[in-house]
Structure 1
Amino acid sequence: MLYELTIQVRVTEFAKGQDWYTTLLKREPDFIPHDGFAEWELLPGCWLQVAKGIPSVNSGPLRLGVLDIEKERNRIQEELGVKRFELHSREEVPVKWGTFTDPWGNQLGFFEYKNEEEKKAKFRIALRSLQ
């Protein structure tokens, strides 16, 4: 039985990496167990770890669900200097999505449900899990 999830990205400049991910996630890390390592609990039991090290080649993308992908794309382009972030959509896929990279080459992205009712339902489930 699976009950939790962690995913790790590595950055060569840890202080800059922690700052970058703090801006991306709009909050400080939840846990810093030692130098060169920080963790954010994105949802209950789902952790993003940022560690000092060599980034994995061709890993990811790790895509995060958002309510307004255009707004988030504009924010990270302005606040983090993300250059390439194209949005994609296909009729048969219920979400629109986009991928970008952090300054260390880790692939990240966002996705947004196209159907407003489905988006609201997913958001309500996430909110309940945080209570």
Structure 2
Amino acid sequence: MIFEITNQVRVTDIQQGHKWYEILLNKKPDFIPHDGFVEWEILPGCWLQVAEGTPSEGSGPLRLGVTNIIAERDRLIKELGIENFEIFSREEVTAKWGTFKDPWGNQLGFFEYLDKNEEKNRIRTILGI
């Protein structure tokens, strides 16, 4: 039985990576067990680890669900200087999405449900309310 998920990205400078991901996630890390490693619980049971090391080329993207992709894109452009964050949609897809890279080349992104009732139901289910 799978009950949790952890994803790791690597950065060449952990101090810069810590600061960058803190702004991206809009929160302080939940766990710093040792030098060279920072971890956030994004949702209950869903962890993102940032570790000092050599980034993996071509991996990802790790896409995070948001309620307003345009506002989040604008925030990241302003606060982190993100470039090349184009938002896409297709008629047959129930979400819009966009992908960008961190300063170390890790591919990340956001997606937003087009059907706001579906979005509310997903949030309730994930949070157990």
TM-score band w.r.t. shorter chain: over 0.9
Stretches of structure 1 that go unaligned for 5 or more consecutive residues are none
> Aligned runs of 1:1-131 on 2, under 5 Å?
1-128=1-128
Q: Calculate the TM-score normalised by the size of structure 2.
A: 0.97
Asked if 1 retains the 8 angstrom alpha-carbon contact of 2:66 and 2:112, the reply is yes
Q: Percent identity?
A: 62
Write the distance in 1 (CA, Å) between the matches of 2:23 and 2:44.
Answer: 20
Asked if 1 retains the 8 angstrom alpha-carbon contact of 2:14 and 2:51, the reply is yes
Deviation at 1:116, TM superposition (A): 1.4
Q: Calculate the TM-score normalised by the size of structure 1.
A: 0.95
Deviation at 1:121, TM superposition (A): 1.3
Asked if 1 retains the 8 angstrom alpha-carbon contact of 2:44 and 2:127, the reply is no
Deviation at 1:124, TM superposition (A): 2.2
The number of equivalent residue pairs is 129
Deviating more after overlay: 120-129 vs 51-60: 120-129
Stretches of structure 2 that go unaligned for 5 or more consecutive residues are none
Q: CA RMSD in A?
A: 1.0
Write the distance in 1 (CA, Å) between the matches of 2:126 and 2:81.
Answer: 29
Deviation at 1:45, TM superposition (A): 1.0
Write the distance in 2 (CA, Å) between the matches of 1:31 and 1:116.
Answer: 32
